[in-house]
Amino acid sequence: MESQKNVHLQSHSQSAKTDDFLSTMGFSEAKIKVSEKAETLKIEVSFFEWASLIAQGHAAFQFLWNGIQFNIFEMLEKNGSMSIEEIQKESALEDGPVKMLMTSLTCLQFVNLDENEKYQNTSLTKKYFVRSSSANLIDVLGWQRYIVYPGVEDAEASLRANKNLGLEKFPGTSPHLYQRIAPDDHLRPVFQKAMSSLSSSSHQVLLESIDLQGCHHLVDAGGGQGTNVIALGQRFPNVEQLTVFDQPDICKMAAKNILDKGLQSRIQTHPGDLFDTDFPKTMDSVLLSHMLTIWSEQNNIKLLKKAYEALPSGGKLFIFNMAVDDDQRGPFSSALGSLYFQCVATGEGRLYTQKEFVHMIEAAGFQMVKTEKLPQAHYLWTAVKV
């Protein structure tokens, strides 16, 4: 269903002269159109309001995060609708903070306020910010809160130096985030849960697009906790063997997940470093999912050449990743994601354009077979060793 809401920033009783003045200052009417079926939210605002959202993006995030921290969305899900007094009582927030929080969550379209002055979750909030929903992104927000935001705080310095200086926020000496947080019992699970959540939210797109016909041994390079290979193994019974190739501590978690699904006879782990450890010898296809944004173009080509050399003639390469459109006008989720890789993760990666991905694939020696633009800002590139 579609609903149209007009939010007037000035009352109808004000004079036309005042309205005209405010319009020239940028305080014009905001038009909001929500399509729940298509999961889209289109907001037409003045440039002043747009600039305000950018300048106060940190505040928008904090209101969303605290909606989760104070269980606002969970209590609305449980009760259906609640008044501000009911929310205040259950959240134990004082009058000012609870009104501030609920006003902002309403303005940001996470909750609705009805004519009876009661709040309800929007349908998209029910799907993405309530823990019982399998599609929820709560763990992703935790990664933003505890790792991304602290790390990009001094982005200017990282950009000037072309180094991930945000890494200094995290104790240790390793030049990469992943090794620094490995011994941290708080940040390690925050990161791992977020990566698993991101994989889970996008792997259905991968499952519906990838063609594994003719593949006998697929290696998921940087396969994490096994989310992709488990789903692919269940979807494609023709693939005789699947392997997670990742760091030893991550492979241990993948092995447990594989065992829990009873797939250990078909899915194995291959502990090691992607750049230094050989690929499994019987591999005839390789998947790189959300991996090539971590490193520079030069290192990506190096890794792809290593995969090319390990594959037999006719072996297949699949790259599944978010990308920036070639005209660089979006999507936001891809364009804005680069800062994390520059400032925190490795100091060299970014979200590449579609044609940059193709260039890296071909520079490694592969022949392109197909490029598909997919939902959730993703692309799937299929190539072959000839």
Residue with tokens 């909750």: 111
Beta bridge partners of 217: 241
Domains and CATH numbers, the chain: 1-55 (no CATH), 56-136 (1.10.10.10), 171-384 (3.40.50.150)
Residues in contact with 104: Cβ distance below 8 Å, sequence separation at least 6, in sequence order: 59, 60, 63
Residue 282, both tokens? 């019987």
- pLDDT tens-digit profile, the chain (386 residues): 334 333 333 333 344 444 444 344 444 455 666 665 557 777 788 899 889 999 999 999 999 999 999 999 999 999 999 999 999 999 999 999 999 999 999 999 999 999 999 999 999 999 999 999 988 999 999 999 999 999 999 999 999 999 999 999 999 999 989 889 989 999 999 998 898 888 777 888 999 999 999 999 999 999 988 989 999 999 999 999 999 999 998 899 999 999 999 999 999 999 999 999 999 999 999 999 999 999 999 999 999 999 999 999 999 999 999 999 999 999 998 999 999 999 999 999 999 999 999 999 999 999 999 999 998 899 999 999 99
Beta bridge partners of 317: 286, 383
**Is the entire prediction scored with pTM above 0.75?**
yes
Nearest CA among 313, 314, 295, 309 for reference residue 352: 295
Predicted pLDDT at 271: 97
Residues in contact with 49: Cβ distance below 8 Å, sequence separation at least 6, in sequence order: 26, 27, 30
Predicted pLDDT at 202: 84
Residues in contact with 156: Cβ distance below 8 Å, sequence separation at least 6, in sequence order: none
